[in-house]
Amino acid sequence: MYPLLLREILEIRISLFGYINNGDGMRVFITGGRSGIGYEVGKFLAERGHLVYLGCRTVSQVFSLREKLKSEKLRIIPIKFDITSSDIFMLKSLKIDALFCHAGVGVSGDITRLDIRSLKDVYEVNVFSNIKMIQLMISVWKKEKKKGKIVVTSSLLELFPLPGFGVYSSSKAALSMFIKCLSKEEKSISFCLVELGAYSTGFNQVMIDNMEKYQKLKKRDCLKISMRRKLFSLLESKNILGCAKKVALEIEKRNPKKILRIPFIQGLFLKVYFLLFG
């Protein structure tokens, strides 16, 4: 594992050679940057002159992303970065200014039939690995006497939980509370909690389909899965670029918002729904 990590660091340093004197922007690391919102945030920041590292969970994803970016003249470096592994120690050598914690997983299912493995698997990524990575980054910045920025993706489901999404909603609620507490403890670090609604990135469909991985499906489960897919197809916003722009602009700010809740209309809809139906 460690030889692979050293090789990755060497490749990054070689890639950086052409970027060192190219602009005065920030160095931003994005986890979960292979596609969707994470990728678009990175692309927007790179277009504005920042050096962006896009973390991908597997080596094959890195190669795929490098091919995708070949035609782009942007300061983007795809990196194999699994937040549940020793890859996180790579952060010690990259001299980054901002960390966007966007990697996450989800699963749907009924709490009464909950397989405890689903809770462990989701919490390992969404909570424990993110907190460990953030702790590491803060320790690095403290040694460097640098005021860093940490932006963390949470979810509107943390605030307005829907039936069938207890594992995911509770994991995001736990992560959000950690960040809120951290922001009180670490005054030298800027924190921004991004509470995302539903966007058409494919994540929600994967989360719904993951129900089969942890629960033996009954006839009524197939109907629930179908209804949940329809619900998200109605709720999902297709304005991924607009979302990415708002997140990127917060990352750029000297003092970003403590909480960024987008899209506004979904937050409003869920608030009205819960006022009416509890």
**Tens-digit pLDDT string for the chain (278 aa):** 444 445 554 455 444 444 443 457 999 999 999 999 999 999 999 999 999 999 999 999 999 999 999 888 899 999 999 999 999 999 999 999 999 999 999 999 988 888 999 999 999 999 999 999 999 999 999 999 999 999 999 999 999 888 899 999 999 999 999 999 999 999 999 999 999 999 999 999 999 999 988 888 888 888 888 999 998 888 899 999 999 999 999 999 999 999 999 998 888 887 787 787 76
Alpha-carbon Rg of the chain, whole angstroms? 19
What CATH number does residue 251 fall under? 3.40.50.720
Residue 10 lies in a domain: yes
pLDDT at 146: 94
Residue 268 has a CB neighbour count (10 Å cut-off) of 11
Nearest to 142 by CA among 91, 87, 90, 188: 188
Nearest to 12 by CA among 68, 118, 71, 87: 87
Residue 261 lies in a domain: yes
pLDDT at 59: 96
Residue 161: HSE in the Cβ half-sphere, 13 Å Cα cutoff: 16
| Cβ-based neighbours of 17, under 8 Å, separated by 6 or more | none
Lookup: tokens for 144: 């460097």
Dihedral sign of CA atoms 108, 110, 116, 117 in order: negative
Alpha carbons 192 and 227: distance in angstroms, whole number: 33
| Cβ-based neighbours of 278, under 8 Å, separated by 6 or more | none
Residue 207 lies in a domain: yes
Residue 278 lies in a domain: no
Lookup: tokens for 83: 């937040």
Residue 57 lies in a domain: yes
Residue 105 lies in a domain: yes
Domain of 197 in residue numbering reads as: 2-273
Q: Is 168 left (phi over 0), alpha (psi -120 to 50) or beta?
A: alpha
pLDDT at 13: 47
Helix orientation angle between 116-123 and 166-185, rounded to the nearest 10 degrees: 30
Residue 157 lies in a domain: yes
DSSP state of 53: E
pLDDT at 23: 52
pLDDT at 134: 98
pLDDT at 8: 53
pLDDT at 5: 47
Q: What is this structure's pTM?
A: 0.89
Domain count of the fold of the chain:
1
